[in-house]
Amino acid sequence: MIKLPPYLKKGDTIGIVCPAGFMTLEKAATCIETLQTWGYKIKLGKTLGSQFHYFSGTDEERASDLQEMLDDKTVHAILCGRGGYGVSRIIDRLDFKSFKKNPKWVIGFSDITVLHAALYQQVKFASIHSSMASAFNDNGFENEYVQSIRKTIKGQLANYSCAPHAFNQLGKSSGELIGGNLSLIVHMIGTKTVYETKNKLLFIEDVGEYIYHIDRMFLQLKRAGFLDGLAGLIIGGFTDMKDTTVEFGMTVYETLKEHLKEYQYPICFGFPVSHDTANYALKVGVRHKLVVTKNKSVMKELL
């Protein structure tokens, strides 16, 4: 049974850490100011503004910083400053014993998918897949996607819809919502953090990949039985895709459609979860209902 951390109230503290890639403190300034205007206190981790090559610190420093936030009873949520790469290098170093006694919402996406999966599969707690600190910049804090973070941490139930897509498979179903970045989901196959997918609603998105990489990753998912028995599939944005000199011959969505034609569950293409601006906050591990009709697709959080 998946448990929910307590929702936030004004005066609670949000910790900000960078468990993967490097981020300057300046790029998080608007995020910090906005969270404060929302009524929250902020605690900055040592990794925000720190750098070790590509990362925000050594593996030891990043693991220690995240562990401190997980253990801190005065911190009520943890917002990851950015993703990039590096969580899988430290995930097995983390100890969730104190977290289980004093759980909190962990917020982020992209490389943070590894942390979401660990919390879901091993710790049995829900978390929040959403935009991170840089999304607040350039007036991003005003858009509905960043605002969805505010609503989600306060406990508002998600009720999102998107336009129909020609590739959709109509139908309705419900299940616990799991997912994240496709590359990281594939990366976790064969590890103890791999998602168990039977009767689940799976959402995926990715960025900066060659189209044939997406084709190869979906073949791996299929051969591993990962797509068998899903309750439904939500396909988000695949941004900044690349093609080879000799073109692959299909778009990303065309490639996915070819792989998915054998499955009978509802499939929604073009859902607003991505590395682009359109990236709604989603509660990983919480039951949702997916309804795909010819007029629109709706994903609603269930009580």
Active site residues: 110, 205, 275
Element (H, E) at 100: helix 97-101
Give the integer Cα–Cα distance in Å for 170 and 142: 33
Match 């068998």 to its residue by tokens. 228
Q: Of 245, 271, 243, give the one whose Cα is nearest residue 255.
A: 243
Contact at 8 Å (CB) between 137 and 27?
A: yes
Contact at 8 Å (CB) between 166 and 176?
A: no
Element (H, E) at 253: helix 252-260
Angle formed by the axes of helices 211-223 and 252-260, to 10°?
A: 20
Q: Of 75, 62, 69, 68, give the one whose Cα is nearest residue 18.
A: 62
